[in-house]
Structure 1
């Protein structure tokens, strides 16, 4: 299985997006149970697997489609309309296949030698204690919020800072550890996305990670091979988070329209759907969501253009893309809250799925990839000639 290189017949982007759209009613039906059980059922992960979603970014060497990240983004934008927690798991468990496209092939050969459908989880927070040793790295530690980890038999990518002899950071890396090397701590009790199973992960002790199972999160290298694997890690991962958040917001629009169209006012004649303030809020909410969606797709299309020409994505563009993606949750949460307020008292009941979508937006907006305040200042400083913080887009300079 590890040596699959032949041409693989796979569905088109439109077929994959259509499959995601067809799942939305089914996902919406199970969303409440997913929250109550605090877990996405294995049957949902299997449905995503059968639909080919986990193959979208997987290299052809291991049976994948090696498609542009744009395809996964569009799929996530649909799935998020139905069950936020399930879509979030798909996002996290589906993005790592891209990571293997820029790793030493030995990592993928080891993981998928017997079964190319095995999934990998992650927690990129730089929590590892890291020590360079012969042939690789020795790491230890505990990491928070590893979403979908109960479905990841293949292990997890874990983040850690590499320090020099003076204790100064010189790199931030991801380390792929095996499932048998860690335990999961059932501590995910959250106001939204409760079903993602985002448990803490703790290594059982000092753990050796071979060099070929690690990569720099900061050091952007163009590399050879398929164009989609020539893109910056941060942009691809951050873009996936932003995409699923767009799905949450569009799910709120779907539900709001269904909620409002048949309603009648209690105190005055007429229907809320005829109220110009309701109409205005809905229209402006859709504008915010569509604008966020357009940014994500335009950025990845432009980036793929560079990669297909064998060029690195320019730093100037990467800084702009960073803000484009990190501003998505701000816009989508604003849109969601705007229309939620117009749902009146009916919207606050737990049986009304509108509040679940809004809570998902709230939690998604707190994700580190959605920190638009700091990123806005970063872009502003860059445009004003003040430079960029070390270790965000490039490795810190070594004196």
Structure 2
């Protein structure tokens, strides 16, 4: 039996992976405050995720991964986010990159995992850097913010940069895999929420050469003929991972709210009256509705896209536009749900000792991520439905003049 077949044969089921994630939630919740205080996720937690197989979910089988559909990864994130938001966020960022290697020339994976298949890479896709084309590749320079989990990445980082044509127009937005020795970390992650993600800035030392096989377009969608999971659109898969962990944050808030409210007494009347308050009940019910709806949209979008690639068809533009809004509105809905619950927690919820405020701050920061820009995406969808098309550099490259 080949090495690839052996790896596929022993991979766990999606249900087994979700059970492993759910079993970790109590311990993650217990350490969540310490993670925030340390401003980084402990190496022991990253190792626990590694031992559970979470970093293999999207990794190509060629390098020992499970090569699974992204739905399995999303469901794991939805569980872990209930426990420690910063730890779950680190898994989300550091675990989605294994899928990106499936989009690259196999030489990139061989360079990173040829000797150690467990190495992790960081990322910062915001196009803050500068790039110029050279023979055989690209020269990259600059500084990139918010590279979550970068302390745990021995191999390198995916960095984003715009490519300009000879007339100075933006021609593409690309991802570049830079080796760890080519950049340094800048500890500037002092924030209101997700404090423990260690989302430091990356600064390239002068210029770094990135060969062509370690770069790909973030915008251009091509359904190649490789394994089906890597034929899905890049933006959908990455954006939905962020949305999935946010759903976990929100469900964690619900659980903590229920624990908080069941025994709570009214300080003026006495007795455990909070659970019988119709306004508390209504807020809880509507919060759960928002979260369940957000969760359903994520899973439906990946299932719909998977159906196309299983028929060896690209995901149509119309579906990609709809999925974009389905995914990006998750942050808005989940933060709204969390805020409704927090408002009903009254003064007790505002203390640092209350885990409710930690979950709310995580929702606040997660909903501010660029992948959760529901306003612009709503207008984009409306424009498309009204026959006005979509702007370039969102789903497709601009036309060549």
* TM-score normalised to structure 2 length: 0.98
Q: For residue 155 of structure 1, what is the aligned residue in structure 2? A: 156
Cα separation, 2, equivalents of 1:231 and 1:225: 11
> Deviation per CA, 1:205-264, whole angstroms, max 9, x where unpaired?
111100000000000011012110001100000000000000000000000000011111
Q: What's the CA shift for 1:4?
A: 4.4
Q: For residue 369 of structure 2, what is the aligned residue in structure 1? A: 367
Q: For residue 144 of structure 1, what is the aligned residue in structure 2? A: 145
Cα separation, 1, equivalents of 2:181 and 2:31: 31
Q: For residue 237 of structure 1, what is the aligned residue in structure 2? A: 238
Q: Does 1:228 align with 2:229?
A: yes
Q: For residue 380 of structure 1, what is the aligned residue in structure 2? A: 382
Q: For residue 267 of structure 1, what is the aligned residue in structure 2? A: 268
Query: Over the residues paired in the alignment, what is the CA RMSD in angstroms?
Result: 0.8
Cα separation, 1, equivalents of 2:158 and 2:81: 24
What is the SS of the residue equivalent to 1:145?
strand
> Deviation per CA, 1:64-98, whole angstroms, max 9, x where unpaired?
00000000000000000000000000000000000
Q: For residue 73 of structure 2, what is the aligned residue in structure 1? A: 72
Q: What's the CA shift for 1:19?
A: 0.3
Q: Does 1:7 align with 2:6?
A: yes
Q: For residue 350 of structure 1, what is the aligned residue in structure 2? A: 352
Q: What's the CA shift for 1:368?
A: 0.2
Q: For residue 96 of structure 1, what is the aligned residue in structure 2? A: 97
Cα separation, 1, equivalents of 2:11 and 2:234: 25
Cα separation, 2, equivalents of 1:311 and 1:350: 51
Q: For residue 328 of structure 2, what is the aligned residue in structure 1? A: 326
Structure 1 runs of 4+ with >6 Å offset: none
Q: Does 1:392 align with 2:386?
A: no
> Deviation per CA, 1:345-371, whole angstroms, max 9, x where unpaired?
100000000000000000001100000
What is the SS of the residue equivalent to 2:392?
coil
Q: What's the CA shift for 1:5?
A: 2.4
Contact 1:20–1:75 (Cα < 8 Å) also in 2: yes
Contact 1:131–1:137 (Cα < 8 Å) also in 2: yes
Q: What's the CA shift for 1:6?
A: 2.8
Deviates more, 1:265-274 or 1:198-207: 265-274
Q: Give the gaps of 5 or more residues in structure 2.
A: none
Q: For residue 300 of structure 2, what is the aligned residue in structure 1? A: 298
Within 5 Å, give how 1:330-341 maps onto structure 2. Answer: 330-341=332-343
Q: Does 1:112 align with 2:113?
A: yes
Q: What's the CA shift for 1:7?
A: 3.4
Q: What's the CA shift for 1:307?
A: 1.0
What is the SS of the residue equivalent to 2:4?
coil
Q: What's the CA shift for 1:272?
A: 0.2
Q: Give the gaps of 5 or more residues in structure 1.
A: none
Contact 1:159–1:175 (Cα < 8 Å) also in 2: yes
Cα separation, 1, equivalents of 2:46 and 2:396: 36
Cα separation, 2, equivalents of 1:12 and 1:71: 9
Contact 1:56–1:64 (Cα < 8 Å) also in 2: yes
> Deviation per CA, 1:80-129, whole angstroms, max 9, x where unpaired?
00000000000000000000111100000110011100001000001121
Contact 1:4–1:62 (Cα < 8 Å) also in 2: no
Cα separation, 2, equivalents of 1:124 and 1:379: 23
Contact 1:238–1:369 (Cα < 8 Å) also in 2: yes
Cα separation, 2, equivalents of 1:368 and 1:96: 17
Cα separation, 2, equivalents of 1:46 and 1:108: 21
Q: For residue 193 of structure 2, what is the aligned residue in structure 1? A: 192
Q: What's the CA shift for 1:269?
A: 4.3
Cα separation, 2, equivalents of 1:174 and 1:322: 20
Deviates more, 1:311-320 or 1:268-277: 268-277
Cα separation, 2, equivalents of 1:175 and 1:5: 27
Cα separation, 1, equivalents of 2:225 and 2:46: 32
Cα separation, 1, equivalents of 2:269 and 2:319: 53
Q: Does 1:308 align with 2:307?
A: no
